[in-house]
Structure 1
Amino acid sequence: MCHNCVAGLGPSAASRRSFARFLAAGAGLTVLAACTPPEAPAVAPSSSPSVSASPAVTSVSASPSPVPVESSTAAVEPPAPSPASPSAALPRQFSLTDPASPWLVVNKHRPLVPADYVPADLVQPNVQLAVSGEAALLNSTTAAAAEAMFAAAARDGVVMTLASGYRSYGTQVATYNGYVAARGQADADTASARPGYSEHQTGWAFDIGDGGGGCGFQPCFADQPAAVWAKANGHRFGFVVRYPWMFHPITGYYYEPWHLRFIGVEAATDMAARGISTVEEYFGVEAAPGYP
């Protein structure tokens, strides 16, 4: 396992070329593990609550200073990690299991409870969109942080787009079942999160695209300006690259330089300062390479 992928350092060009050849050899879908695949099946009707796009939230100030955007989250339940976990050093602690908590950990060992959870505060952020409908939504805290981050990137000459945001339980059911029908469950589990196990359902995560339109949902996206900027600066606004290079034995998913997860400015900045690459390691929970 590679442990040299600390914050601010990207994979070597040679490593990415090798990874691209790996994808071409027939394992390409693994890199799209938790994000919308380019040929996802049509969404089937679902009994889960429907969500319609709400009006765009008011854009936050374009000040280059990061803004605290965790005020709307609950901090009433103590977190699950061991007191020895790195996150235990922070003055504020949040739940690792409450879906309304910025520290929620969702992976192949830790499903959402309830499985059909719907965030109560979904909004459409005032950012450049590459999608519409539910995919253009985030929870209100993540939306405010995304607005601040996209604005800061624009001031640096980098154009980001919101390429995939919220995904309902019903959408995930249809997407995952389509993969199972086409390829079998074992292969489906490498290409799509099972329903109730996707970070996109929480409202805390989203995928970015580059304004130039290059390399969307491909390994070469790591070299696009939006990905480079987000990796170097995302922590200032509370975001981490959730599935970093060569840490799939811990996260369960291959490298996704486009998939950002909000955990709060304090935690994201502390992770970056310590050179910790995964939320599993930072919050002291077990690795989740596969479903139990």
Structure 2
Amino acid sequence: MCHDGSAGQEPGPESGPAGPTRRAFSRLLMAGSGLAALAACAPETPPPPSSAAGIATTKAAPASSASPLVPPLASTPAAAATSAAAAPAPAPPAATAPAAPRHSLIDPASPWVVVNKHRPLAPSTFKPTDLVRPAVRLAAAGEASLLNGTTAAAAEKMFAAAAGAGVTLTLASGYRSYVTQAATYSGYVKSQGQAAADTASARPGYSEHQTGWAFDIGDGSGADSFTPRFAQQPAAVWAQANAHLFGFVVRYPWMLHGITGYYYEPWHLRYIGPEVATEMKNGGIGTLEEYFGLEAAPGLPVTGSGHHPGQS
């Protein structure tokens, strides 16, 4: 064990003629003793810089042994109050709330209208006033070959771009009136039962097809139309990668039926405008419900009477 050479020493009297000489001699002996002690205690080589840094870090760390991820609690209410008073005031929350939509989310004539099992069309028998037949390759006839004017113009540009890339898109199903949607839904109910029908077909008054903003695509071969395997066809692959450039999104994406209420439909495109479609694509946002901050609509809500809206 090493000492500093001064332990156990007591000051003696310093008066008298011999005092200064004795003090000087005593100091000389103490200095020699101290040097010998230091030589005995000093390491042979100085500690490496990393050790010194570690020591400095250890000294700078708080003495508490609590986890650094958990802030220590104040020991008394007074200490807590003092700590709270000393803490800086929290910064105001950032203004992250989305700005008011530039277009209506409920007007069927709006490009941003959101239609799902909780958000029916109003009026339920809505019909677009500007239905046109786009100049694209058709795989449908009658009203199913029609779209509203804005969607038709965007579809023409998209179909032309796909053709330029060597990919054939076809318009397989466009506008559907309230009456047509009622017949379509009824057919699903008869063949699959109502529960299954509600995962595959919208009830009349709840369909995007009725707005003229949505349509189904196919490819030139007709392979795998309206089945999940269509996702592997060139038309679906190209649309998934490029449709946003023309204002379209795949409205019912893979594994998001808990939000949209419908199973994956890689063929169902919805016009929402290039700005929103691109933001959704770049941000990895799959549904309109998520983008606009709306509630999920996995199933039809039950009214007080116990009947679903639109149920006869």
1:214 is aligned to 2:223: yes
1:100 is aligned to 2:141: no
What is the CA–CA distance in structure 1 between the aligned matches of 2:222 and 2:187, rounded to whole Å? 27
Q: Name the stretch that deviates more: 139-148 or 268-277.
A: 268-277
What is the CA–CA distance in structure 2 between the aligned matches of 1:231 and 1:182, rounded to whole Å? 30
SS in 2 for 1:108: coil
1:1-51 per-residue CA deviation (whole Å, 9 max, x = no partner) reads xxxxxxxxxxxxxxxxxxxxxxxxxxxxxxxxxxxxxxxxxxxxxxxxxxx
Gaps of 5+ in 2: 1-94, 302-312
Q: 2:169 aligns with which of 152, 157, 160?
A: 160
1:240 is aligned to 2:279: no
What is the CA–CA distance in structure 2 between the aligned matches of 1:100 and 1:208, rounded to whole Å? 22
Deviation at 1:129, TM superposition (A): 0.2
What is the CA–CA distance in structure 1 between the aligned matches of 2:244 and 2:267, rounded to whole Å? 14
Taking structure 1 as reference, are residues 180 and 219 closer, same or farther at Cα in structure 2, changes over 3 Å only? closer
Overall identity of the aligned pairs, in %: 72
1:257 is aligned to 2:254: no
SS in 1 for 2:278: helix
Residue pair 2:200, 2:263 contacting (<8 A) in 1 also: no
1:180-216 per-residue CA deviation (whole Å, 9 max, x = no partner) reads 3444432322232111001100000000001132111
Q: 1:231 is matched with which residue?
A: 240
What is the CA–CA distance in structure 2 between the aligned matches of 1:272 and 1:89, rounded to whole Å? 19
Q: Name the stretch that deviates more: 208-217 or 178-187.
A: 178-187
Alignment-mate amino acid for residue 209 of structure 1: G
Q: Determine which structure has more spread, i.e. the larger CA radius of gyration.
A: 2
Q: 2:130 is matched with which residue?
A: 121
Deviation at 1:163, TM superposition (A): 0.4
Q: 1:283 is matched with which residue?
A: 292
SS in 2 for 1:206: strand
Deviation at 1:220, TM superposition (A): 1.1
Alignment-mate amino acid for residue 292 of structure 2: F
1:252-271 per-residue CA deviation (whole Å, 9 max, x = no partner) reads 00110000000001110111
SS in 1 for 2:170: strand
Deviation at 1:84, TM superposition (A): 4.9
After the TM superposition, which parts of structure 1 deviate over 6 Å for at least 4 consecutive aligned residues? none
TM-score using structure 2 length:
0.64
What is the CA–CA distance in structure 2 between the aligned matches of 1:213 and 1:106, rounded to whole Å? 28
1:149-206 per-residue CA deviation (whole Å, 9 max, x = no partner) reads 0000001000100000001000111122233344443232223211100110000000
Q: 1:6 is matched with which residue?
A: none
What is the CA–CA distance in structure 2 between the aligned matches of 1:274 and 1:241, rounded to whole Å? 14
Counterpart mapping for 1:13-162 below 5 A:
84=96, 88=98, 93-162=102-171
Residue pair 2:119, 2:206 contacting (<8 A) in 1 also: yes
1:122-164 per-residue CA deviation (whole Å, 9 max, x = no partner) reads 0000000001000000000000000000000001000100000
What is the CA–CA distance in structure 1 between the aligned matches of 2:177 and 2:244, rounded to whole Å? 26
RMSD: 1.6
1:238-257 per-residue CA deviation (whole Å, 9 max, x = no partner) reads 00000000000000001100
Gaps of 5+ in 1: 1-82
Alignment-mate amino acid for residue 250 of structure 1: I
The count of corresponding residues between Structure 1 and Structure 2 is 207
1:174 is aligned to 2:175: no
What is the CA–CA distance in structure 2 between the aligned matches of 1:258 and 1:191, rounded to whole Å? 13
Deviation at 1:227, TM superposition (A): 0.5
Alignment-mate amino acid for residue 187 of structure 1: A
Q: 2:282 aligns with which of 267, 273, 282?
A: 273
The structure whose residues are more often helix, as a share, is: 2
What is the CA–CA distance in structure 1 between the aligned matches of 2:288 and 2:256, rounded to whole Å? 11
